Amino acid sequence: MSERITAFACEDNGEPDGTNATLTSPISQDGRPERSNTYLIPARHGRAVRLDQGQHLKIINTYGTQVCDMWAFHAHSLREFLSMEHVRPWLNRMTPRIGDPLVTNRRRPILTLLEDTSPGIHDTTIASCDIYRYHTLGVEGYHDNCADNLRMALKAIKLRTPEVPSPFNLWMNTPYKPDGMIDWLPTVSKKGDYIVFRAELDCVVVMSACPQDLVPVNGKDCIPHDLHFEVS
């Protein structure tokens, strides 16, 4: 029993269940951005970017209908990361607002939300889609997913996540109905809406243009679209 527990404790959750071009298309070898660039996150794919403390990250909902799963890891210890479970009690509400600090699993700010041109409808409760989610929706074989995009985006810059934290789902519209059920609705953001964060720690932020095409979170037509981002 003790040998099995030890073996389990040594495992991590860093290997993707399949691959796409996220694995081979980092913005740079180490994820460091050029400040003058606007970077593409292709539909269904992910990207990682390194931020120094004080830098600003602008994520752009280019088509207005796309959900972005976002994670942030402390650059010097990936076991410390942006944690939605800790953000909610820290803020004493479900969704961050402009000016709010976003905290890690060690309860210290890693990002601050500075700007949001959308109506502010985002999700902090839904786990990132993964291969198992798509299997429950009837998919056979592999389907691009946000959990693997996280793993691959980090591997592309020679990092590895020990686990897949619950993401901050930008622009995702999943309200609770009066009977307690979750509604899976299209975004209420518009073309060109953006959100800006300031890094409070040296960190690595990963963004996934969610591949969900079976429920209408990425618009009524269920078609994922590109996102863009900039660092200043």
Q: What is the pLDDT of residues 148-175, one digit of tens each?
A: 999 999 999 999 998 999 999 999 999 9
Residue ranges of the chain with pLDDT lower than 50? 1-10
Between CA 104 and CA 84 the distance in angstroms is 8
Residue 215: phi and psi, rounded to 5, are -125, 155
Residues 28-55 pLDDT 10s: 999 999 988 999 999 999 999 999 999 9
Instruction: Please report the pLDDT score of residue 13 as a whole number.
Output: 84
Q: Are 72 and 103 in contact (CB under 8 A)?
A: no
What count of other Cβ atoms lies within 10 Å of the Cβ of residue 169?
Answer: 24
Between CA 134 and CA 131 the distance in angstroms is 5
Residues with Cβ within 8 Å of residue 3, at least 6 apart in sequence: none
Between CA 206 and CA 183 the distance in angstroms is 26
Looking up tokens 């994670």 gives: 71
Residues with Cβ within 8 Å of residue 20, at least 6 apart in sequence: 44, 45, 144, 148, 149, 152
